[in-house]
């Protein structure tokens, strides 16, 4: 039997997860900038949902995985935290918090890595550039 180190993401959490439901923000525009996903690998993890693209730093906990994230909502910088637990049905049950803002629970199911990479974070200065 192989054991994992204290910093490795447990195999049952490791990989890509498709966010399928949020409690506070609805689901109408969940896939606005591409399929809503989060990766939990411990290396170059990403989060994408609604107009949010973020880099994720995750770590295992006694009850699941917690994460901090930093990214952009459209072009505005945002950050926050979150956590997930594995449900009996194999889905993730999680909570995501926006620093000085809202929070919501979410449900995710296992998926594969997106065919197209999640784009780099948009830069705030690009918000003010006009393209004629």
The pLDDT score that the predictor gives to residue 1 is 40
Which domains, and CATH codes, for the chain? 15-123 (2.40.128)
The pLDDT score that the predictor gives to residue 117 is 86
The pLDDT score that the predictor gives to residue 2 is 43
Provide mean pLDDT across the span 114-130: 72
Q: Which of 2-11, 15-24, 37-46, 103-112 has the lowest mean pLDDT?
A: 2-11
The pLDDT score that the predictor gives to residue 26 is 83
What's the pLDDT tens digit per position in 82-107? 999 999 999 999 999 999 999 999 99
Provide mean pLDDT across the span 10-30: 95
Which residues 6+ apart lie within 8 Å of 18 measured at CB?
A: 35, 36, 37, 108, 109, 110, 111
């Amino acid at each position: 039997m192989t054991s994992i180190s204290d910093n490795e993401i447990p195999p049952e959490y490791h990989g890509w997860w498709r966010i399928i439901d949020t409690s506070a923000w609805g689901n109408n525009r969940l896939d606005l900038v591409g399929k809503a996903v989060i990766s939990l690998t411990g290396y170059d993890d990403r989060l994408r949902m609604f107009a949010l693209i973020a880099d994720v730093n995750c770590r295992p906990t006694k009850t699941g995985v917690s994460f901090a994230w930093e990214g952009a909502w459209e072009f505005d910088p945002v950050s926050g935290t979150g956590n997930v637990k594995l449900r009996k049905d194999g889905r993730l049950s999680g909570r995501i918090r926006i620093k000085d803002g809202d929070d919501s629970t979410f449900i995710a199911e296992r998926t594969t890595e997106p065919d197209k990479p999640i784009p780099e974070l948009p830069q705030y200065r690009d918000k003010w550039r006009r393209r004629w």
